[in-house]
A and B are shown apart, each in its own frame.
Chain A
């Protein structure tokens, strides 16, 4: 199947691959998906004391579209507040990457990963 140029670009040159210490109080970790389904995304955000996302990293087990979706959101997350991050919609990801209908679930997973990372961080800050 044909991938869009943007998917290929993120797949060939993924941005922000890596991990933060998940025990760091300023780090929120979201792990979504399941190996049996062929997709697992781990998304981590690091916030400053003012609550701004200053860095984001990901690791993804999945198809090219899943890798591209998570790579893309790490770029989008930087500089956003947690509330702004929570507003990122899968449709925006799918549109940016020109995902075909069978790959929409990859963008849904990326949105879920953001929500999970934000929730993890908020639970740490309580």
Chain B
């Protein structure tokens, strides 16, 4: 196999975004060119056609998560959904209390929205998960206070793919009358979501993580018992006033079709992806000193996050140009900052720096997995030959006991 001769890298970054499924793209196109009407136009067939398409898509999105279509509010994506849920519900119910509980490992869209609430006078608790990435139910319970108004926990973590026990967490919130928001951007099509059973009040969705287009998402807002939110976007009063703005028909149609495909194919697809994850795991853990980040069982099959000890993350990413992956090391930015998610699990800075997130999906082939394993084995070996830390480890030096001069 010729490792260096690849033109485009193999895509192993499905957790950052997915390609639009060709079936989705095909369905979207007429709504850009011919059926371009504004779904809010009530006086002519252009509007009626668009409105009908929007409502079909709304049903498809609702169906994937077993919700009522009237509980689905279109947004521009999961970031907006998270903002709308946290700011919208937090502010609406602020007379009830001004304390919010969330996890330190949430997506930035949740963390920064919660931080914004601090600015508005709320107090907050950012819970550290256990080393396996999962929040301890008792610790979660203990963090709730009489003035807690909202809790926000993601279903599937974007970096390490672990699945939180949403049922248990939601039940605790129900008992204490606390609004429960769940960021499910990374969960749709990967884990089963049944909102008739799940004790969840608000749930954020994104299309582009599930083979739909970028720029479209949705927020589930429970009707029974009814959850109220303050609009964050004001204007024409679309989406029952919760989110104004002309609906992006083609994007919405794309999300509906993407979610329909997910519902129909996720069973078979996840079994296939699970096999590939296993193959990747088996292959990569043959390399010495590799550590999987996050629980391996309570995890979506699409994700494998591994730290390759004694190898620095950025040079590793540089070495494995043949595959497109994400690194837990953000040292290309001015501030050298390892992944805050991995740090929250108690991983050392250097382990966080040397982590790679492999995320696979619908179009990943078994040969891609084999190529990845071979590439990693070769490059990790080369970089460790270069690494003074590897040399020290081989000589039996405990690197944690060395006094390093921080710079």
List chain A positions with a Cβ less than 8 A from chain B: 1, 3, 11, 14, 17, 19, 31-42, 59-64, 66-67, 102, 105, 108-109, 112
B180 lies within 8 A of chain A by Cβ: no
* Selected A-B contacts with CB under 8 Å, 17 pairs: A11-B315, A31-B388, A33-B405, A35-B349, A37-B336, A38-B331, A38-B336, A39-B312, A59-B388, A60-B386, A60-B388, A61-B387, A62-B312, A62-B315, A63-B312, A63-B315, A102-B334
B387→A1 contact, CB < 8 A: no
Q: Which of B216-259 contact A (CB under 8 A)?
A: none
Known pairs A11-B315, A32-B407; A40 contacts B386 (CB<8 A): no
> Which residues on the B side are within 8 Å of A102 (C-beta)?
332-334
A40→B314 contact, CB < 8 A: no
User: 8 tightest A-B contacts by CB?
Assistant: A34-B404, A42-B388, A35-B350, A36-B349, A63-B314, A59-B388, A61-B387, A61-B389
Q: How far is the CA of A16 from the CA of B389 in the complex (A)?
A: 17
Per a CB cutoff under 8 Å, which of A42, A59, A67 touches B315? A67
B26 lies within 8 A of chain A by Cβ: no
List chain B positions with a Cβ less than 8 A from chain A: 310-315, 318, 329, 331-334, 336, 338, 348-350, 353, 385-391, 399, 404-407
Q: How far is the CA of A67 from the CA of B386 in the complex (A)?
A: 8
Q: Which of A19, A39, A59, A108 has the most C-beta atoms of chain B within 10 angstroms of its own C-beta?
A: A59
Nearest-neighbour CB distance to chain B for A98, whole angstroms, equals 16
Q: How far is the CA of A35 from the CA of B353 in the complex (A)?
A: 9
> Which residues on the A side are within 8 Å of B310 (C-beta)?
61
Per a CB cutoff under 8 Å, which of B312, B333, B350, B386 touches A14? B386
A36→B350 contact, CB < 8 A: yes
B389→A35 contact, CB < 8 A: yes
> Which residues on the B side are within 8 Å of A63 (C-beta)?
312, 314-315, 318, 331
> Which residues on the B side are within 8 Å of A62 (C-beta)?
312, 314-315
A32→B405 contact, CB < 8 A: yes
Q: How far is the CA of A39 from the CA of B386 in the complex (A)?
A: 12
Nearest-neighbour CB distance to chain B for A67, whole angstroms, equals 6
Q: How far is the CA of A32 from the CA of B388 in the complex (A)?
A: 11
Known pairs A11-B315, A63-B312, A64-B318; A36 contacts B406 (CB<8 A): yes
Nearest-neighbour CB distance to chain B for A37, whole angstroms, equals 6
Nearest-neighbour CB distance to chain B for A36, whole angstroms, equals 4
